[in-house]
């Protein structure tokens, strides 16, 4: 293959970016007037010449929930969600979707894309990010408010909207922290709170009534409502149970409202621990590393739009480094682009960039999470890492630390709560962050 490049022919670059600029003798004379400008031009020229890989136009975007320049390798999930939307809108029985996977595989980005798809169909949409220390009542109220606000301008009967907002307000005001009188629900709903609906204080009953009413407003318009829940594994146990029950109720009545979730790999077991029928409510889609073709596409497609190409060897090196994990694809792509002088980007550029990319990952991606662990929790994770990169038996961690397994339960449980590890199966644990073991093994203990 040699130095074959993988991109469409470099296209719409201004001619000046590729070929040296020929200045007219008049302009040469003009610059010569000041030797200061003549001198500064020489160092600048090399910058101008490398414009074909311009750092300002670097397309790659490592970051949590950061929309990638190319959403690669997710066609199947997008198609599945199209079908879900279509079926739900027609009142057909359909399981909603829940995305699961490690950190940095692109769950949030996909969830946001699903949200856009629903909005394009003129659905009402709202999104929350669950937190372990917070009831979902208020966030759900705010999200449902957003969803119905999207529908309101198209609704012919304003009193239907007002009626719903009254129910929503009553629902929100049943929040236990609001009852103390310390906080009011700030996003102003101008209508008075209703009474006798969604305000019992029992979240299961209240969510069910709220969802049924919201679905009925959407039905008036022939659309649906989608509530998106990111970090769904962090929804508190009683709330998970209430949420599943409300979805169950709704699926039976055929109301066009769906709850779409995303979370860590153990999310299915969190849901089924709470309600045994959760498997029948949700279709689980495991979001994983990108295969080689998709990972290449994630790099090539955005570069192509900037008239930049990669050699085959550069793509090989990038795939080896990023291992197909979308966050890493973006991170290595970004630094490589910044350091490359000209197109095509080569394997040497990747080699040069790798240490810097790794350093950035060590600080931003791994370090920020490592920082959240206490010394005892760090010991626990180092012991896990010393065993290997596969899911580890908790008994084996205890052995490494020469401790009784039961004495390590607090560290393990709080690491799970912090979202750093998860229980892959009974008795087994694994890191939620890809390559975290490798990172830990490189750290001084
Ligand atoms: N399909 C994809 N193709 C290319 N890059 C992606 C893809 N999905 C996600 N990314 C990138 O990966 C990073 C992590 O995405 P994110 O959705 O935050 O992951 P998660 O929510 O699973 O932790 C972001 O920088 C995003 O731009
Ligand atoms: Mg996320």
pLDDT tens across 4-18, in order? 455 433 333 333 333
Q: Domain segments of the chain: what residues?
A: 15-54+294-368, 75-286, 373-441
pLDDT score recorded for residue 190: 83
**110 CA distance to ligand 1 centroid (A)?**
8
**Which segments of 5-91 are extended strands (E)?**
none
pTM: 0.87
Does residue 7 contact residue 318 with C-beta atoms inside 8 Å? no
Task: Spell out, as residue ranges, where the chain has pLDDT lower than 70.
Answer: 1-51, 178-187
Task: Establish whether residue 75 lines the binding site of ligand 1, counting it when its CB lies within 6 angstroms of any ligand atom.
Answer: no
Locate the ligand 1 atom nearest the alpha carbon of residue 109 and give its number: 17
* Residue 254 Cα distances to 85, 157, 161, 271, angstroms: 13, 22, 21, 21
- Strand, helix or coil at 76? helix
In contact, 175 and 186? CB cutoff 8 Å: no
Q: What is the pLDDT of residue 265?
A: 97
Nearest ligand to the C-alpha atom of residue 287: 1
pLDDT at 178: 58
Best of 62, 63, 68 for a ligand 1 pocket test (most atoms within 8 Å of beta carbon): 68
In CATH, what number does 373-441 get?
Answer: 1.10.10.10
Cα(first)–Cα(last) distance of the chain, in Å? 44
Q: Is the CB of 333 under 6 A from ligand 1?
A: no
Query: b/e string for 379-391 if b means 16 or more Cβ within 10 A?
Result: bbbbbbbbeeeeb
Q: Give the pLDDT of residue 25.
A: 41
* Cβ 321 vs Cβ 355: under 8 Å: no
Position 184 scores a pLDDT of 53
pLDDT tens digits, 103-152: 999 999 999 999 999 999 999 999 999 999 999 999 999 999 999 999 99
CA of 102 to the centre of ligand 2 (A): 9
| 289 in Cβ contact with 323 (< 8 Å) | yes
| pLDDT of res. 124 | 98
Confirm if 322 and 310 have CB atoms less than 8 A apart. no
Length of the chain: 445
Specify whether the CB–CB gap between 347 and 316 falls below 8 A: yes
CB-proximal residues (5 Å) to ion ligand 2: 108
pLDDT of residue 8: 38
Compute, in angstroms, the gap from residue 111 CA to the centroid of ligand 2. 9
What is the domain class of 75-286 according to CATH?
A: alpha beta
CA of 1 to the centre of ligand 2 (A): 38
Q: Which ligand is nearest to the CA of 60?
A: 1
Q: Are 262 and 110 in contact (CB under 8 A)?
A: yes
């Amino acid at each position: 293959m040699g130095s074959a490049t993988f991109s469409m022919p470099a296209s719409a670059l201004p001619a000046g970016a590729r070929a040296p600029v020929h200045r007219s003798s008049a302009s040469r004379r003009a610059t010569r007037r000041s030797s200061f400008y003549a001198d500064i031009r020489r160092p600048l020229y090399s910058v101008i010449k490398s414009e074909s890989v311009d750092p300002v136009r670097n397309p790659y975007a490592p970051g949590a929930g950061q929309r990638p320049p190319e959403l690669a390798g997710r066609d199947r999930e997008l198609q599945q969600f199209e079908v879900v939307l279509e079926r739900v809108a027609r009142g057909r029985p359909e399981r909603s979707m829940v995305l699961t996977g490690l950190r940095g595989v692109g769950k949030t980005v996909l969830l946001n894309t699903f949200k856009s798809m629903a909005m394009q169909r003129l659905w009402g949409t709202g999104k929350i990010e669950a937190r372990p220390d917070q009831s979902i009542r208020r966030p759900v109220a705010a999200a449902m408010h957003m969803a119905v606000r999207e529908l309101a301008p198209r609704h012919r009967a304003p009193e239907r909207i007002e009626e719903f907002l009254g129910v929503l307000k009553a629902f929100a005001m049943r929040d236990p922290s609001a009852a103390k009188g310390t906080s009011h629900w700030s996003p102003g709903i101008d209508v008075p709170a209703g009474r006798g609906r969604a305000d019992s204080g029992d979240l299961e009953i209240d969510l069910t009534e709220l969802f049924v009413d919201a679905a009925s407003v959407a039905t008036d318009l022939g659309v649906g409502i989608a509530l998106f829940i990111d970090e769904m594994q962090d929804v508190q146990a009683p709330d998970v149970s209430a949420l599943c029950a409300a979805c169950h109720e709704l699926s039976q009545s055929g109301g066009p409202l769906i709850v779409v979730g995303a979370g860590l790999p153990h999310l299915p077991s969190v849901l089924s621990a709470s309600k045994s029928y959760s498997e029948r409510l949700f279709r689980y889609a495991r979001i994983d590393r990108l295969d080689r073709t998709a990972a290449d596409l994630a790099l090539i497609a955005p570069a192509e739009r900037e008239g930049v190409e990669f050699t085959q060897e550069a793509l090989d090196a990038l795939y080896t480094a990023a291992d197909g994990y979308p966050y890493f694809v973006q991170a290595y792509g970004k630094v490589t682009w910044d350091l490359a002088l000209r197109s095509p980007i080569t394997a040497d550029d990747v080699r040069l960039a790798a240490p810097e990319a790794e350093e950035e990952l060590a600080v931003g991606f791994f370090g920020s999470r490592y920082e959240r662990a206490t010394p005892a929790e760090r010991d626990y994770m180092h012991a896990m890492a010393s065993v290997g990169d596969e899911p580890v038996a908790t008994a084996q961690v205890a052995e490494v630390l020469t401790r009784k397994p039961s004495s390590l339960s607090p560290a393990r449980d709080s690491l799970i709560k912090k979202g750093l590890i998860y229980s892959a199966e009974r008795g087994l644990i694994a890191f939620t962050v890809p390559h975290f073991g490798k990172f830990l093994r490189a750290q001084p203990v």
